[in-house]
A and B are shown apart, each in its own frame.
Chain A
Amino acid sequence: MDLASLRVGVPHADALIALADAATLPDGAEGEGARARARARLSAAMGPRAMVDAAAVAANFEMMTRLADATGALLDRADRAEAGALAGADGFASRRDPDRPTHGG
């Protein structure tokens, strides 16, 4: 499965994904422009309250991804395999598998 190209048949999925992507962009004109466009697009599609709630979900996962990675959080073996095989996450830098330890700074 290719997460980057995955489409799941959710109405307004492209607008939701655009907001999520823009939320992760660093400081600078490109990111600010992307966020402004994504806010306007999602607000027009789903309303301003939905746009704010989508931004809050993005904020939550900026928090949770750091929580997981900074505390070495491990999925159970079956979930690790599923994440890797089905979602293609084995290529992620944060892959942690006690059966195949990684090393580095």
Chain B
Amino acid sequence: MTTTADVRADLASVHDEAWASLSRPGPRWSAAARRALARTAADAMWVADPPPPWVAASSVPGALADGALDAAPAAAHDAAARIARHAATLTRDWYDRVRTALDPLAYVELVGVVCVVAALTSLRRTLGLAPRALDAAPDGPAGDPTRAAPPALAEARRNWVPVAAPADATAAVVQALTAVPPAHDLLWRLAAAQYIPDAEMVDPRWTRGTLTRVEIELVATRVSQRRECHY
């Protein structure tokens, strides 16, 4: 039986940090909003019989937790649930409609929340560990959005979302969250612990002493294929 003690210390540490981030404020969303959106994403991500992609989560009785709509607007919950469960079906048209309801930087931050939920809940489920409860969100001003100023932004050819300037100087996934630096930094620290540290990416012989690079890429490719991710 797997226990949390079997998880590498560096991996456990960044997962603990990422889990805590879900109940802390971000640049555009309050702590309560991030926590509620994380809950919506987690609930939608793994449910056995989800509504189809075109059905908004907010229109399904019982799909959102009590109080969810007090914390964040329906459009944000609907986007979180859609990304969580039906990401491969997303289109530019869908994003353009979401953008009429959500500020683009709020959307990028929301994507970061869903990505963190995906990684953290996936690892626990695959290892057979019990689900983890979200931390309480701080009340009052401590939970308010940080309103941290974004970097200089640019429209990208390789992504729908705005990115830190200059656009398209790096791969699309690398620049995807750069408009919201805390989300970008956390995601890539998770990737370093879960997959391969960025500095080692060019070395096909790199290993932690457990899986070879080929074995790592086999698992990566299989999950990407199961999720029908063309990228």
Tell me if B229 and A71 are in contact (CB < 8 A).
Answer: no
Residue of B108, B158, B177 most packed against chain A (CB within 10 A): B158
What DSSP secondary structure best describes chain A's contact surface?
helix
Cα A27 to Cα B72 in complex, Å, equals: 26
B88 to A93, Cβ gap below 8 A? yes
C-alpha spacing A19/B223, complex, angstroms: 10
Question: Do A48 and B46 have beta carbons less than 8 Å apart?
Answer: no
Q: Verify B47–A26 contact, CB threshold 8 A.
A: yes
Asked, given contacts A57-B211, A92-B230, whether A52 binds B6 with beta carbons under 8 Å apart, the answer is yes
Q: For the side of the interface on A, what is the size category?
A: 35 or more
Are A83 and B230 in contact (CB-based, < 8 A)?
yes
Q: Within 8 Å CB of A53, what residues of B? A: 8, 208, 210-211, 216
Residues of B within 8 A of A75 (CB): 172, 230-231
Q: Which residues of B contact A89 (CB under 8 A)?
A: 225, 230
**In the complex, which of the residues A46, A54, A74 has the most CB atoms of chain B within 10 Å of its own CB atom?**
A74
User: Given the interface contacts A27-B48, A49-B210, A57-B216, does A62 sit within 8 Å of B222 by beta carbon?
Assistant: no
Q: Is A94 in contact with B229, judged by CB distance below 8 angstroms?
A: yes
| A60/B218 contact (C-beta < 8 A), A21-B226, A71-B111, A94-B228 known | no
Please give the residue numbers on chain B whose beta carbons come within 8 Å of chain A beta carbons, in ascending order. Answer: 2, 6-8, 11, 46-48, 50, 53-54, 83-84, 87-95, 108, 111, 114-116, 118-120, 122-123, 125-128, 157-161, 172-173, 176-177, 187, 190-191, 193-195, 208-211, 214-216, 218-231
